[in-house]
Structure formats: structure tokens, C-alpha cells
Amino acid sequence: MITNTNHSVTIDDLWELWPSLSEDERLEWFDQLSHDDAEDFFSSITCEDQSALIAAMTPHQQRQWMRILAPDDAADVLQLIDDEEMQRRLKTYLQDRVRNEVDALMAYKEDEAGGLMSPRFARIRPDMSIDEAILYIRRQIRDELETIYYIYVLDHQQHLLGVVSFEDLIKASGDKKVSDVMETDPTKVTDDMDQESVALIFAREDHFALPVVDADNVMKGIITIDDIVDVVNDEATEDFQKMGGMAALDNDYLQSSYGEMYKKRIVWLIALFCCTIFTTRVMDYYSNAIESAVILSVFVPLIMASGGNTGSQAATLITRAMALGEIRQRDVLRVFKREFIVSGCLGLTLGVIAFLVATGFYLMGTFPAGDGIYLRLCLTIAISVLILVIYGSLVGSMLPFLLRLCHVDPASASAPFVTTIVDVSSIIIYFTIAMMLLKGFL
Amino acid sequence: MITNTNHSVTIDDLWELWPSLSEDERLEWFDQLSHDDAEDFFSSITCEDQSALIAAMTPHQQRQWMRILAPDDAADVLQLIDDEEMQRRLKTYLQDRVRNEVDALMAYKEDEAGGLMSPRFARIRPDMSIDEAILYIRRQIRDELETIYYIYVLDHQQHLLGVVSFEDLIKASGDKKVSDVMETDPTKVTDDMDQESVALIFAREDHFALPVVDADNVMKGIITIDDIVDVVNDEATEDFQKMGGMAALDNDYLQSSYGEMYKKRIVWLIALFCCTIFTTRVMDYYSNAIESAVILSVFVPLIMASGGNTGSQAATLITRAMALGEIRQRDVLRVFKREFIVSGCLGLTLGVIAFLVATGFYLMGTFPAGDGIYLRLCLTIAISVLILVIYGSLVGSMLPFLLRLCHVDPASASAPFVTTIVDVSSIIIYFTIAMMLLKGFL
């Protein structure tokens, strides 16, 4: 293990500094922790940080730290090492048994159940007596089980027959059989299930751990809920960033390179920018109308905003509800109805305000002269707002359904994306209404 | 317990239907579950759903179901019952001991550690031998402990001295003392800590449960990680909705009433709308410029969008990173630097594209005649885009810091909010540059 003379740094100091440190600084500070602190700290940082640290270490240190990782963590860390040569070398540092477990785990994608699970679980046979079982478990504890909170009952072919909590075991009288006390047909996940679905199951059922089985119900490992907390956070962050109108980052904000930050953001910006070019074409199309009544162009930003804002609201609501499984594809019509009714009321409210605002402008004498143009202009603006608020919410709420139908992550229905879509149509709708109501003045 | 003749419904059927059912329908279906299924189902739904179900039940049923709730769940359910009369009555259904525990828990806010904790934890004394301790715990198990995974070591005044996992207890030799094997100074939370901070600690340290102590280090209860998964999801949802430009909903999307949906959304919409009115004032201010060159107004939507989109990206990135504790107030300057550099590159890219787009319009002959107006107009647009992209990211990234400084949730820096702020200034910046570069033509 690491031996260093200078233990000036405490674990709390480092926690404070950590986010602000560069990768090299991190190792420097880490080396100054006392041996026990270093172990505590190392085991509590994310596997991203662990692999970054290890990558920066001397081979001697790498050997030490790879060996204290549990097989599932070791697999995650190795998967994050891009340099294949180093990855291979790091693997050789592991004890043989762990290496085999790691190889098995690395066969799975990082974001599916198999990639999250640990192969270290407590197992007993159904025909054991409670006392035999407890003895048998106490012997297994030596090989660092992920948890003894649940013990899994397997037949000789490792098929999952049931589960029993350690609590129930020691509650039961010692001469009973395991099969008498075990819960048959327990909640389980398959090794190829994606981590988002696994997280939803954990959120629904209050288990500390769930067994992972393959297609033949052979038990492969367990997923413990502490890994799920990270999954839930990661998935949410990914959605947040997509909904902010960008690709999801691979690292923390402060840890991402300028290059990554640029790449992840420019793609969407260019896409959005190109869509927005249409607004220019459309505006240009109506330039004659604008020429004859500049006042029309004056309200364009206001009209566009009202559609965009309600659209963003709707898109965010629906996307999140989908991510949490509150809304399924087949709810599309109910959502449409809801959004139509709600946005109708929202539109009426904003329409009235818009009417008053327009009147204000009239009173300030910014309207061109002309009999009855006042009322018609105010109506144009009010009606446009009403229609665009409804239109915006419907676009914003239906887009996530459409995206999912095309197997695109609904979270891509970001506020900027929706706003952009709505913007173009806003101008068309607005000027169309203006043309109708202001015929004769334009 | 519920007795019903017709068990046509399985627990999975109900899970499928649940989100789509109205509150009355929910009870109807629930009543058709077999007794065991009903218990499994009831314990796996959210406390919001539990309290809604209970509120709809007959007093006889209410008594049955209140009594199967663990004290912490009972407290949550009761806190969600608005009708004080019913709340009082439901409480009388509880066993005396539970009622006292519930009263203690209800003294806490729902979103602070005290409101999340369960008072049912395993406790031992430091001077016990391991064998005594195990015996002592097996006796405590009878009163439904939240978990025996961790056992807490308390002195006679209930001060928290240390913690030991059941695993370590049974690993240790029976004649040792608890004080020899216990971990002193364990990670703990105070009863008034807010749930977001508690969730961050769970995400950081891989514990299944954490002890909750008061200001005098007297142990009050434990928080188990399964409650934290819900907290993490709830907090994320709240942020999502705020960032969508609305107040957070109290219920699932499909369960919220039209009235609530309207109220939560209209407030922000009106606020945003009123801010946007400034755009109209500003546009009006430049109406002469527009009159002399309508082409200027044609590019307004494009210019506004480029600032708004980068702003949304930056705001989302920073807000989420803050929520996860990746960014603290004092990182403000580093964030500013990052955003400045990144948005500089983003701006240059989009600026070039804008220049080409403008050229396209020139070639299509939409530009007014005049020597050199082409180049100046294209520059006006390109430079405006460059400046506004930088300006947008800086506003979007600094706003969350500002809000937090004013003790407002940074998540309120929603995409629509940022876009609105940026919109007004976009127009000013754009026309100012136009005035300078197009002097003589306007």
C-alpha cells in the first residue's frame, strides 16, 4: 500500500478541493493522504475519478490500488481506460480470481444491468436447514461479499429459486428448511436490461439489492442500490444537458476539456442556427407588409417568445414524465387533450395581456394613422398570441412522443429545439393573421 | 385486513394501469387485488398515492391500512392529508407506540433529514461482548427494524458513539467487546439537514443507511438509501420543471389537475411575457432604422436565437453542475473564463456561418442598393452573432451564481428565462452595431 511520510492533508480538505483540481494536482494531493484516508477516499470517488487517478499513477501504485477494487468497480475502471496497452497491463495486477470475474463483467455494456452487477453475493441451497445456512454464509463472508443483507437460494445449476433476508434467517427457528422461509419468485432483472429500467424498478420496489439473471434464470450477480443512486443522477444529468440543447458531456463540467465542451455544444447550435435561417427567409417574404407597417415587425419578438416559452414548458414536462415512466406512448391522446385545454387557458390569459399592451402602444401614438387600424392591430396581436401559445404547447408536448417513435431519446426535445421549430411558424401565423385583419392597410 | 371475494386483478395488471387511472378508479381496482398482492402493492407505491388511496377508503379500511405503515411512511402519508379532521382521525387508528413515533417525525419538515428518517434502528452498548450484542439484536428484530445491516452503538444518553455492520459483528470473535470492532466517528447527518444535501452524501459514500443525530449528537433515527432514490428523482424533476420555465408540480403530470397545471405555468409565462414587452419597446425605438432598411428587421429573429440558444446551454450546464455539487459559488471566475473561451469559439463558428447566410441573401438580391452596403450588412450580422453568442453564454452561466447569491434556487435560471433576458439586449446590440457600420445608409 502507499506509504508516504507527509500526512498534512485530511480527507475533508481533499473533498473540498477535489472538484477544482486538475488531474495531476489530484494525484499529488491524493499521495499526501494517510494510508487509511487514502483507502476511504479512493473507494468513495466515482469510477471516472478512480480510473483517471490510476492512469496517472506509477505501475507500483497502480498494482496496489487495482487490487483493493471490488470486481465490479475494477471492471468499470478498466472500461474507462482508453489506452488498451495500459488496460491490459492493469488487468494483470489483479488476483487471478478477480481477473476472471472482471473479464466476465467487461463482456457487458457499461449501461446495462450486467455492467452494474457484482458477482459477489451470498448463496445457499433450498434443502439446507437454517442453522446450516447461517454457518455456510458466515464462511462465505470471508470472500468480501457485496452484501449479506439478502441471501440467494440457488439449485446446483445456479438457477435462482428464491431469496431470503439475513434478518428472516436469524428470526426463523434453526431446524426449519431454507425452502420454508425463502421468498419464491423474487423481483429480478435480466443481465441485458438497460440501467434506466433497472433504476425505475429500484425506485418502485424498496429493495437494497436485486438479483441479476440471464435468459435461463441462471444467477449472474447482484446490483446494490448504492450503484443505482449514481445511475439515477447520471441519467438525469444526461437529460438535463440534452434538454439544454446540447450533447451530453462525458465528464463533470469543470473536468471537461475546452475541446469536448465546444464539440458537444456546437453541433446543436449549428443545427438550430440553420433552422432559424428559415425565420429570415419568412421575414423577408413579408418585408413588403413590414415596409407598409413597420409596427408589425415591432411585435415579432413578443409573438415569437410566447409560443417558444409555452413550448419549452410542455416539452420539459412531457420528457421528464416519460423518463420516470409516468407517461407511455399510448397516453399520447390524453396528453394532447390536457395540453390543448391548459394551453387554451394560458393563451386566453396572455392574449388579453397582449391586447392591453398593444393598446398601450396605441395610446403612446406608435400606431400608424388609419380608421379602425387600432382595433384590428390589437386583435392581430392578441389572436396571434392565443393561437401560438396553443400551437407551442402542442408542438412541445407531441415532439417527445414523435422522437421516441423514431427511437430518438425524447430528451432531445430541448427548449431551444422546440423554440426554434415554433419560431418559424410563429412568424407565418402572425403575418397571415395580420394580412387577413389588416387587409386594405397593407 | 381487506377481504374481497373477487381477485381477478393481478399486481402487474394494476401496475400497468396505475398511471392512467383516476383516484376513484384506483381504489376500485386496488380493492380487487388479493390480500397479499394488495399489501405488496400498497407498500410499493409512493406516499402521495398511498395517502390518496387512504383518503378515499372507508374508515374500516383506513384503520387496516394505516396500521401496516412503518412510522416514517405513516408520517409522510399523514402530512399529505390536507383535511385536518381526517388527519387527526387517521392518527387515532395507529398503535400507541407508532403514534408517538409519528408525532415525533411530523415535527420535522418533509424535505429535511428528520422527515425522511425512521426511528426503528438496531442499537447496542459499547461495553457489550459481541455474543451479547448479537443476542440483543436478535431480540430487537421483533419490533420491525428498518434494517439490521448497520447497528448503532449508543451510550445511556443515546449519544451516537459508533456504528458496526452486522457483517463485522458475526465475523468478529464472540468474546471481543463491541467498542473494539465498532467504527468510531461514522458518517452522520443532522436532523435539520435538507434532503438534497443528504442525497449528495449518499451519492458520495456508499452506505445503505446513515444515522440522523440532533445538535447534541443524540441519535434520532436512520435514513435508508431506498428513500434517497426517490429524493434524487424528485429533486431532479423539480429542477427539470423549473428549468422548463415553470413552477414545480406537486403531482405526476397525468395526476395534476388542470387548475394546478394552469397556475404552475401561467406565473412564469406572464413574467416572461412582460419582460419580452421590452423587446417591443426597443424594436419600436429602432423603427426608423427599420423603415430605411427593412432588411435589418429580417435578421432580428436569427440574431436573437443565436444568443438565446447558447444562453440556454450555459444555464443548463451550470445549474445541473451546481445541483450535483460539482460547482460551488467560489468557482464563479473559473466558470466565467471557461464560458468566455468556449463561447468565443462557438461565436466565431456561428459568425462565419452567419456571414455566408447573409451573402446568400445578397446574391438573391434582397439587399437594398448602395455601394459597399453588402459587406457592411454582412459584417453587422456576423459580428452581432459573435458578440451575442459570447454575451448569451456569459449571462446564462453567471445567472445561476447570481440567483444562488440571492438565495433563489439556481434552477430558476430556465432556458426561457435566459432567452428572454438575452432577447432584449440582442436587439439593442444588433441595432447599435448596425448604426455604427451602416452609418450613412440609415
pLDDT tens by residue, B342-377: 999 999 999 999 999 888 888 887 776 666 778 888
pLDDT tens by residue, A394-427: 999 999 999 989 988 888 777 888 888 888 889 9
Among chain B residues, CA nearest to A308:
B416
- Between CA B424 and CA A16, with CA B405 as vertex, the angle to 5 degrees is 130
pLDDT tens by residue, B67-95: 988 888 888 899 888 888 999 999 999 98
Instruction: Say whether pLDDT at B213 is over 90.
Output: yes
SS (H, E, C) A365-388: CCCCCCCCHHHHHHHHHHHHHHHH
The closest alpha carbon to A423, from A245, A241, A274, A288, belongs to: A274
Q: What is the pLDDT of residue B4?
A: 43
Give A253's contacts in chain B (Cβ within 8 Å).
317-318, 321, 326-327, 335, 338
B336 touches chain A (CB under 8 A): no
- Lowest mean per-residue pLDDT among A66-70, A143-147, B8-12: A143-147
From residue A315, alpha-carbon distances to A19, A413, B269, B409 in Å are 32, 6, 15, 21
A346/B262 Cβ within 8 A: yes
B302/A273 Cβ within 8 A: yes
Query: Residue A442 — very low, low, confident or very high, per pLDDT cuts 50/70/90?
Result: low
Interhelix angle B47-56/B59-67, rounded to 10 degrees, is: 150
B312/A258 Cβ within 8 A: no
pLDDT tens by residue, B251-273: 788 778 888 888 888 888 888 88
The residue behind cell 473540498 is A16
Distance from CA of A147 to the nearest CA of B (A): 8
The closest alpha carbon to A430, from A269, A313, A293, A286, belongs to: A286
Instruction: Say whether pLDDT at A241 is over 70.
Output: yes
The mean predicted confidence, pLDDT, of chain A is 86
Among chain B residues, CA nearest to A245:
B313
Bridge-based pairing of strands B147-154 and B121-124 is parallel
Cα B27 from Cα B14, distance rounded (Å): 11
Query: Residue A25 — very low, low, confident or very high, per pLDDT cuts 50/70/90?
Result: confident
Cα B325 from Cα B185, distance rounded (Å): 24
SS (H, E, C) chain B: CCCCCCCCCCHHHHHHHHHHCCHHHHHHHHHCCCHHHHHHHHHHCCHHHHHHHHHHCCHHHHHHHHHCCCHHHHHHHHHCCCCHHHHHHHHHCCCHHHHHHHHHHHCCCCCEHHHHCECCEEEECCCCEHHHHHHHHHHHHHHCCCEEEEEEEECCCCEEEEEEEHHHHHHCCCCCEHHHHCEECCCCEECCCEHHHHHHHHHHCCCCEEEEECCCCEEEEEEEHHHHHHHHHHHHHHHHHHHCCCCCCCCCHHHCCHHHHHHHHHHHHHHHHHHHHHHHHHHHHCHHHHHHCHHHHHCHHHHHHHHHHHHHHHHHHHHHHHHCCCCCHHHHHHHHHHHHHHHHHHHHHHHHHHHHHHHHHHHCCCCCCCCCHHHHHHHHHHHHHHHHHHHHHHHHHHHHHHHHHCCCCHHHCCHHHHHHHHHHHHHHHHHHHHHHHCCCCC
Q: What is the pLDDT of residue A3?
A: 42
A240 touches chain B (CB under 8 A): yes
B167/A313 Cβ within 8 A: no
Instruction: Say whether pLDDT at A288 is over 70.
Output: yes
The closest alpha carbon to B368, from B418, B293, B432, belongs to: B293
Average pLDDT over residues A67-77: 87
A316/B243 Cβ within 8 A: yes
Q: What is the pLDDT of residue B1?
A: 39
Nearest to B309 among A249, A258, A416 (CB): A416
The residue behind cell 454464509 is A137
Among chain A residues, CA nearest to B264:
A313
The closest alpha carbon to B304, from A302, A267, A425, belongs to: A302
Query: Residue B317 — very low, low, confident or very high, per pLDDT cuts 50/70/90?
Result: confident
Is-contact A387 B217, C-beta < 8 A?
no
Residues 113-132 of chain A whose Cβ lies under 8 A from any Cβ of chain B: none
Give B297's contacts in chain A (Cβ within 8 Å).
283, 287, 290, 294, 297, 300
Is-contact B432 B286, C-beta < 8 A?
no
- Lowest mean per-residue pLDDT among A27-31, B225-229, B341-345: B225-229
Instruction: Say whether pLDDT at A246 is over 80.
Output: no
B290 touches chain A (CB under 8 A): yes
Q: What is the pLDDT of residue B370?
A: 64
Bridge-based pairing of strands B183-184 and B160-165 is antiparallel
Residues 68-87 of chain B whose Cβ lies under 8 A from any Cβ of chain A: none
Which residue type is seen at B349? T
B95 touches chain A (CB under 8 A): no
A169 touches chain B (CB under 8 A): no
Which residue type is seen at A324? L
Predicted TM-score (pTM) of the model is 0.75
Instruction: Say whether pLDDT at B442 is over 70.
Output: no
Instruction: Say whether pLDDT at B3 is over 50.
Output: no
Distance from CA of B208 to the nearest CA of A (A): 7
B295 touches chain A (CB under 8 A): yes
Q: What is the pLDDT of residue A379?
A: 92
Instruction: Say whether pLDDT at B146 is over 50.
Output: yes
Residue A248 gets which letter from DSSP? P
B368 touches chain A (CB under 8 A): no
- Lowest mean per-residue pLDDT among A87-96, A281-290, A332-341: A281-290
Give A333's contacts in chain B (Cβ within 8 Å).
none
Nearest to B254 among A225, A310, A326 (CB): A326
Average pLDDT over residues B145-158: 87
Average pLDDT over residues B371-387: 88
Q: How many CB pairs under 8 A join A and B?
A: 380
Nearest to B262 among A225, A306, A345 (CB): A345
Instruction: Say whether pLDDT at B416 is over 90.
Output: no
Cα B130 from Cα B150, distance rounded (Å): 14
Give A357's contacts in chain B (Cβ within 8 Å).
277, 280
* Dihedral (Cα; B355, B361, B366, B368), 10-degree rounding: 20
